Amino acid sequence: MFGIELQDGWTIYIWLISGACILIGVVFGIRWAARNEQFDEDIKYLVFDDNDRDKMDPAEFAKYQEVVKKQEARRKEVLAQKEAERNS
* pLDDT tens-digit readout, 15-41: 999 999 999 999 999 999 999 888 878
Give 72-84 pLDDT, tens digit per residue. Answer: 999 999 999 999 9
Mark whether 21 and 47 lie in a shared domain: no
Residue 68 amino acid letter: V
Residue 6 amino acid letter: L
Give the Å distances, CA to CA, from 13 to 1, 9, 20, 22, 78: 20, 8, 10, 14, 44
Mark whether 44 and 87 lie in a shared domain: yes
Contact (CB, 8 A) for 46 and 71: yes
Mark whether 34 and 45 lie in a shared domain: no
38: phi then psi, degrees, rounded to nearest 5: -90, -10
Mark whether 29 and 60 lie in a shared domain: no
Question: What percentage of the chain has pLDDT greater than the value 90?
Answer: 40
Helix or strand or coil: residue 41? helix
What pTM did the predictor assign? 0.57
Domain count for the chain, please give it.
Answer: 2
Beta carbons within 10 angstroms of residue 2's beta carbon: 4
Mark whether 1 and 35 lie in a shared domain: yes
